[in-house]
Amino acid sequence: MRYKSVIILFFLVSTLGQAQRTEKPVLHGKHWMAITGKSLGAQAGAMIFQQGGNAVDAACAMLGATCTLWDVLSWGGETQALIYNPHTKKVIAINALGVAPTGATVDFFKSLGYDFPPEYGPLTAVTPGTVGGLCYMLATYGTMSLREVLAPSMDLAAGFPADQSFVASIARNKEMLKGWKYSRELFITHPGEAQETPVVGEIFVQKNLLETLQKMVDAEQLALNEGKSRQEAIMAAYNRFYNGDIAQEFVRGSSEMGGLITLDDLARWYPVEEKPLCVSYKGIDVYKLQPWSQGPMLLQSLNILENFDLKSMGYNSPQYIHTLYQTMSMAFADRDFYYGDPSFCPDIPIKGLLSKEYARSRASEMYIDKNNPSISPGNPYLFEGRENPYLQILKERGSETKPSEERDFVPKHDVVSLTEPSDEYMERLCRGTTTIQAADAEGWVVSVTPSGGWIPACIAGNTGIGMSQRLQSFVLDDSLNPFNVLEPGKRPRVTLTPSLALKNGEPFLSFAVQGGDTQEQNLLQFFLNVVEFGMNVQQAAEAANFNSNQLWLSLGGTTIEERMPRPGDLLLNAKTPDSVRQKLTEMKYTLQFSSHTSGPINAIYFDREQGTLWGASSNYGEDYGIGW
């Protein structure tokens, strides 16, 4: 027993020592901080701050810029955000996720032979949400005009120098893009030549997108000329997109490609301001989105982990990894069965799922010495004083799993996992849903995880806008999740999950990460790195994490077989000591390894003692931050 303790202590000391030597420095700022997935995107935020905008203005500029840069999203995707308002001292949740269009039914997709909606093409699109979310946030909480905030995006649409990841993404998906008329016209810049797609450094022009953005700022200016307020003028631009000529062309182009979105679908959709969910972990209030996202999974995990002395286990010791893995497996099992759109499913037992009593009950079920491959959804209804109407479904479903060697860790557009990671794997690991972090001296804080419409995107007519692929996150069988069954007008349960944490009522951490089903896993470990192990934000962002695949995939694959959980799958950092590998193997885990397992995470820490901002940006990929 003493020998094992020495191993764990050595591992803790050695790994934390490595974490002290970060590859990128902490960003320090006094006035503001702007962080996102591309250097040009971060510069867009910095430009707005330098013009006197607040953190909401800057976040909206970064959102527009990253959409224009296709990092890895576009204007037809979806946006979700948490905003701290320093005047009310409250955290606000923004739900700008699109909904399933008319005609998108279970019977329709089953008639085409799908177990889940398709991954790519016009049939996988929900209504675009990013434009509406940007306009709503800017009008309600920003200070600047849409013209000012979109100026960087319009400059980029007029032409930006193509970078390596953008070029590689187009080249990799060339054949699919060539199959859609408007995508072919945009992305195949050299048809018939030896290399038909853009080359690194080439100026990539998006004429149609620039015209769409110009129409929006023209609508804003017309409203201002008519004496409308700043807010009303921004919403006039919103209306042109969702109810005017932009909407008409979007629907025409979508229909031409075989899409289902109608003019009524666009007109009926709107962004929603919601109350976020929150739990307290050791005096820190952690905020996440409602269960149309996977955000509550992190809150459930923190509640369970409060019942364990994590610090004494040691950072990334076998017992620590095992405890977090079991905890996440329980939370994922609940996510995969109970989460969905609350506006369609008011019966979601979220109060029970987030109760401390339920967490203690789940903690008591944990296997201490080995992985439990049969972790199932719990019964949170008991902790609401209600009967669970889905017990028969759970009983009939049983525990369905599949051997680990046959599936990737995360969605194909984010990363592919192999026992021996290839160059392609590492390139994909650096891509994915982007994140946006912004904060200012007044106290505004914004955390955003936008996504959708990534390459290969089906462009909607002459709008220049790539349609979302988020419909694939629905299920077509209520035995998988009765709350997330596809219906027109419903929002899918998504992986996108920004985070905010307050301490003593003031901002403590703002953090988010890309990566499909790995997002909440990496954010949980980042948070614990700071709170339990005393790392600064850059150390915590670069520190070696691990990823589980004991969950139902939210994206990627159109059959039950492709999406099923792989119990015991564990992706570890390549530097993990042999002693830890051996112990985890004895605990019935199947191990894979990668040189990067930390995110990439972007974050801001608020130093109350010094009155400064500490920014962190991933040490790999293209994530970039600027502070002042």
Nearest-angstrom CA–CA distance, 580 and 335: 29
In terms of Cβ atoms closer than 10 Å to its own Cβ (0-12, 13-18, 19+), residue 600 is buried
Identity of the amino acid at 301? S
Query: Comparing C-alpha atoms, which of 130, 153, 138 is closest to residue 59?
Result: 138
Query: Comparing C-alpha atoms, which of 373, 377, 372, 380 is closest to residue 395?
Result: 377
- The structure tokens listed for 618 are 């991933």
Query: Comparing C-alpha atoms, which of 2, 6, 18, 189 is closest to residue 576?
Result: 18
End-to-end CA distance of the chain: 51
On whether the CB atoms of residues 308 and 363 are closer than 8 A, the answer is yes
367-401 core/surface letters (b: 16 or more CB in 10 A; e: else) = eeeebbbebbbbbbbbbeeeebebeebbeeeeeee
Q: Tens digit of pLDDT for each residue in 27-67?
A: 999 999 999 999 999 999 999 999 999 999 999 999 999 99
- The structure tokens listed for 609 are 């003692």
On whether the CB atoms of residues 429 and 49 are closer than 8 A, the answer is no
Cβ count near 534 (within 10 Å): 12
Beta strands in 332-441 (DSSP E): 436-440
Which helix (H) or strand (E) segment holds residue 2: the answer is helix 2-20
Q: Mean pLDDT over residues 410-422, rounded?
A: 40
Query: Comparing C-alpha atoms, which of 476, 553, 468 is closest to residue 114?
Result: 476
Q: Mean pLDDT over residues 70-91, rounded?
A: 97
On whether the CB atoms of residues 339 and 292 are closer than 8 A, the answer is yes
Say how far residue 38 (Cα) sits from the centre of its chain.
16
Q: Does residue 95 surpass a pLDDT of 70?
A: yes
Query: Comparing C-alpha atoms, which of 407, 355, 412, 416 is closest to residue 381?
Result: 355
Contact residues for 474 (Cβ-Cβ < 8 A; gap 6+): 100, 116, 117, 484, 485, 486, 490, 492, 493
Question: What is the residue whose two structure tokens read 């369905």?
Answer: 400
What is the model's pLDDT at position 619? 87
Contact residues for 200 (Cβ-Cβ < 8 A; gap 6+): 162, 163, 164, 167
Say how far residue 242 (Cα) sits from the centre of its chain.
24
Nearest-angstrom CA–CA distance, 102 and 492: 14
Average pLDDT, the chain: 92
DSSP 488-556: TTPPPPB----EEEEETTEEEEEEEE--GGGHHHHHHHHHHHHHTT---HHHHHHS---EE--S--SSS
Q: Please, which pLDDT band fits residue 597 given cuts at 50, 70 and 90?
A: confident
Which helix (H) or strand (E) segment holds residue 615: the answer is strand 612-616
Say how far residue 625 (Cα) sits from the centre of its chain.
18
Nearest-angstrom CA–CA distance, 429 and 414: 6
> Please, what's the largest Cα pairwise distance for the chain?
78
Q: Tens digit of pLDDT for each residue in 340-361?
A: 999 999 999 999 999 999 999 9
Q: Tens digit of pLDDT for each residue in 601-613?
A: 999 999 999 999 9
Q: Please, which pLDDT band fits residue 18 given cuts at 50, 70 and 90?
A: very low
Query: Comparing C-alpha atoms, which of 355, 325, 205 is closest to residue 572?
Result: 325
- The structure tokens listed for 313 are 């286990």
Question: What is the residue whose two structure tokens read 């955290």?
Answer: 91
Q: Please, which pLDDT band fits residue 584 given cuts at 50, 70 and 90?
A: very high
Contact residues for 587 (Cβ-Cβ < 8 A; gap 6+): 318, 322, 369, 370, 371
On whether the CB atoms of residues 317 and 11 are closer than 8 A, the answer is yes
Query: Comparing C-alpha atoms, which of 551, 593, 543, 544 is closest to residue 568?
Result: 551
Q: Mean pLDDT over residues 269-296, rounded?
A: 98
Which helix (H) or strand (E) segment holds residue 9: the answer is helix 2-20
On whether the CB atoms of residues 108 and 207 are closer than 8 A, the answer is no
Eight-class DSSP state of 316? T
Nearest-angstrom CA–CA distance, 561 and 600: 29
Q: Does residue 400 surpass a pLDDT of 60?
A: no
Q: Tens digit of pLDDT for each residue in 218-254?
A: 999 999 999 999 999 999 999 999 999 999 999 999 9
Nearest-angstrom CA–CA distance, 301 and 323: 10
Q: Mean pLDDT over residues 380-398, rounded?
A: 93
How many degrees, rounded to 5, is the angle at CA 519 between CA 513 and CA 525?
90
Q: Please, which pLDDT band fits residue 11 given cuts at 50, 70 and 90?
A: very low
Q: Does residue 12 surpass a pLDDT of 70?
A: no
Cα four-point dihedral sign 511, 514, 515, 517: positive
Query: Comparing C-alpha atoms, which of 29, 66, 26, 76 is closest to residue 45?
Result: 66
Region of residue 148 (phi > 0: left; psi between -120 and 50: alpha; otherwise: beta): alpha
Q: Tens digit of pLDDT for each residue in 533-580?
A: 999 999 999 999 999 999 999 998 889 998 999 999 999 999 999 999
On whether the CB atoms of residues 149 and 61 are closer than 8 A, the answer is yes
Contact residues for 158 (Cβ-Cβ < 8 A; gap 6+): 205, 206, 210
Q: Tens digit of pLDDT for each residue in 310-322?
A: 999 999 999 999 9
Nearest-angstrom CA–CA distance, 296 and 344: 18
Q: Please, which pLDDT band fits residue 432 given cuts at 50, 70 and 90?
A: low
Q: What percent of the chain has pLDDT over 70?
A: 91
